[in-house]
Amino acid sequence: MAGRRCGWRLCGLFGVVILVSGCAQHGDGQSKAGGFLERPFEGDYPDGWPFDHDLPLNVFSSAMMSSPGVLTWRGDNVVLPWGEGDGHDGHDWQLPEGTPLVATADGVVTVAGLDRPVRCGDRDVQAVVLRLRHDRPDGEVFESIYGHLSVLQVAVGDQVRGGQRVGLSGSTGCASGPHVHFGVRRLTGTNSGEPAIVDPFGWQGRFPDPWALHPRGAESRWLWRGAAPAGDFLLRSGRAPDQTGPSAAGEK
Ligand SMILES: [Zn+2]
């Protein structure tokens, strides 16, 4: 989950910068009923690295280094300008160091502390991570996951309310600069019966969501209540969206 290359430092170096904020209008064709997550921070910040619907499992693997792009919401097959980044399991919003983070919904803190060590260049590092568990009235269970924090303001076992301050953003762990990695896991209704990461923006592609079909995957639904944070890619290649299917990205 940690952002090995989260793109923020590169964003100003490439000519085409498209920032779409307030993307609540996206998601056409997919019901937004039942959304329950509030944005995890105030304000609008670029999403420098999106969720990859084509196998969001490869972060820190060698496959990530060799893949040319990511398949993400609306079915676009996007080539990241820095040439890697496949398999991302969340969204990286480029918050400045110390930006307040808030609970996305009522829940309980299940993880608050240092993540497992990961190799980052020539050193081992640990991100400060936070997980909130949300038990829905309909029996579904989700987790909100925050990564790279600089400060934690809650502890394991705490009950939190949506909108409550839970910490400050940072760049702990393997991060190329300050940002928050935000991910959502479904603990119920997954294909394997095991928890599976999902995209809180759902899926708007013109073909079936490959992650919803994957044995270890799950359906992603639009989970935002009210205005969603920016969810489009900050950077787009000139490559046309994939109209036919995920084969160009393939499974690594
Ligand atoms: Zn990330």
- Looking at residues 91-95, what average pLDDT do you find? 92
State in Å: Cα 54 to ligand 1 middle: 15
Assess whether pLDDT exceeds 80 at residue 12.
no
> Is 251 a member of any domain?
no
Q: What's this model's pTM, rounded to 2 decimal places?
A: 0.78
In the chain, % of residues over pLDDT 90: 50
Cα–Cα distance between 153 and 182 in angstroms, integer?
17
State in Å: Cα 181 to ligand 1 middle: 4
Cα dihedral across residues 23, 28, 33, 35: positive or negative = negative
State in Å: Cα 2 to ligand 1 middle: 5
Hey, what amino acid is at 5?
R
Contact 33, 52 (CB under 8 A): no
Give me the residues paired with residue 125 across strands.
118
Structure confidence at residue 239 as a pLDDT band (50, 70, 90)? very low
- Looking at residues 52-75, what average pLDDT do you find? 64
Cα–Cα distance between 112 and 141 in angstroms, integer?
19
State in Å: Cα 3 to ligand 1 middle: 4
Give residue 178's domain range: 8-240
Assess whether pLDDT exceeds 80 at residue 183.
yes
pLDDT digits (tens, 9 = 90+) for 111-125: 999 999 988 889 999
Cα–Cα distance between 209 and 221 in angstroms, integer?
11
H helices present in 50-123, as ranges: 62-66
Phi, psi angle pair for 13, to nearest 5°:
-95, -10
The tally of CA atoms less than 13 A away on the side-chain side of residue 86 is 22
> Is 245 a member of any domain?
no
Cα dihedral across residues 118, 94, 248, 31: positive or negative = positive
Strand intervals (E) in 58-176: 69-71, 77-79, 91-93, 100-102, 107-114, 118-120, 123-125, 128-135, 141-147, 151-152, 159-160, 165-168
Least-confidence region, from 1-5, 75-79, 129-133, 232-236: 1-5
> Is 169 a member of any domain?
yes
Phi, psi angle pair for 75, to nearest 5°:
75, 10
Least-confidence region, from 59-68, 84-93, 212-221: 59-68
State in Å: Cα 107 to ligand 1 middle: 22
State in Å: Cα 169 to ligand 1 middle: 13
> Is 47 a member of any domain?
yes
pLDDT of 60? 52
Tokens of 175: 């991060």
- Looking at residues 140-145, what average pLDDT do you find? 98
Assess whether pLDDT exceeds 80 at residue 184.
yes
State in Å: Cα 50 to ligand 1 middle: 8
Least-confidence region, from 19-33, 93-107, 152-166, 193-207: 19-33
In the predicted model, what is the mean pLDDT of the chain? 77
155 or 28: which leads in pLDDT = 155
Tally of domains within the chain: 1
Contact 170, 149 (CB under 8 A): yes
Assess whether pLDDT exceeds 70 at residue 248.
no
7 or 232: which leads in pLDDT = 232
Q: What is the CATH number of the domain that holds 45?
A: 2.70.70.10
pLDDT of 204? 83
pLDDT of 102? 98
The residues, ordered by sequence, that sit 6+ positions from 208 with a Cβ below 8 Å of its Cβ are: none
> Is 230 a member of any domain?
yes
> Is 246 a member of any domain?
no
The residues, ordered by sequence, that sit 6+ positions from 244 with a Cβ below 8 Å of its Cβ are: 207
> Is 69 a member of any domain?
yes
State in Å: Cα 65 to ligand 1 middle: 15
> Is 1 a member of any domain?
no
pLDDT of 232? 62
State in Å: Cα 158 to ligand 1 middle: 25
